[in-house]
Amino acid sequence: ISLIKNIRLYLFDMDGTLYLGNRLYDFTIELLSEIKRTGGKYLFMTNNSSKSVADYIKKLHNLGIESTREDFITSSQATAYYLHKHHEGQSLYGCGTESLKEELRMEGFTVTTDLDKVECIVMGFDTELNFKKLHDVSFMLCTRQLPYIATNPDYVCPTEFGSVPDCGSVCIGIKNATGREPVVIGKPSPLMPQLAMDRWGYTKEETAVVGDRIY
């Protein structure tokens, strides 16, 4: 209890933690309201790179939770932060949704499907995945020593009926085909919590990460 009393910043996973699919958990609204009432702050922190922040704002609104862009820490944002530090100015191949590609473009990156111009590969949770993307990524990784970044390591994404393969599972398939493993950005990497603490000025002793899978 004493540890909880010291927490001022709560970083909530969303999928499987505050809601499941389109079903909001019964406790969510009361929990978020109580954190605000007692002077705390919460952010929504997700490894799911298939949706943009704008998509999440709309989804939460439909579930009865109002939010702004500043309320989110996503693996897409953390990936962009990493790319700015290590691969600034490089042209990217995005094996991800159009929402992920648009997030990267908004961060100033060029996203291309011209394989000759690709300088870095970004793998995300791709709900629009097709075999051509898998072929393109495998071809580039087998024939060139390109930087290879994954937004998150999750093997599965929870749904109302169970789970579907997530970014980590696709990366295992790519490793089996090419022998290459990506630099992984999302949880449990500390980069996302560090971004949140730095941005809002909280210490690790004041911060709690709340999720649905202990690994």
User: Residues 49-106: pLDDT tens digits?
Assistant: 888 888 899 999 999 999 999 999 999 989 998 999 999 999 999 999 999 999 999 9
Residue 15 DSSP label: B
Gyration radius (Cα) of the chain, Å: 18
Assess whether pLDDT exceeds 80 at residue 119: yes
Give the pTM: 0.81
* E runs forming strands in 21-115: 23-24, 41-46, 72-74, 91-95, 110-111
Average pLDDT estimate for 23-35 = 96
Write down the residue that tokens 């085909």 correspond to: 177
Q: Is the pLDDT of residue 204 over 70?
A: yes
Average pLDDT over residues 162-172: 96
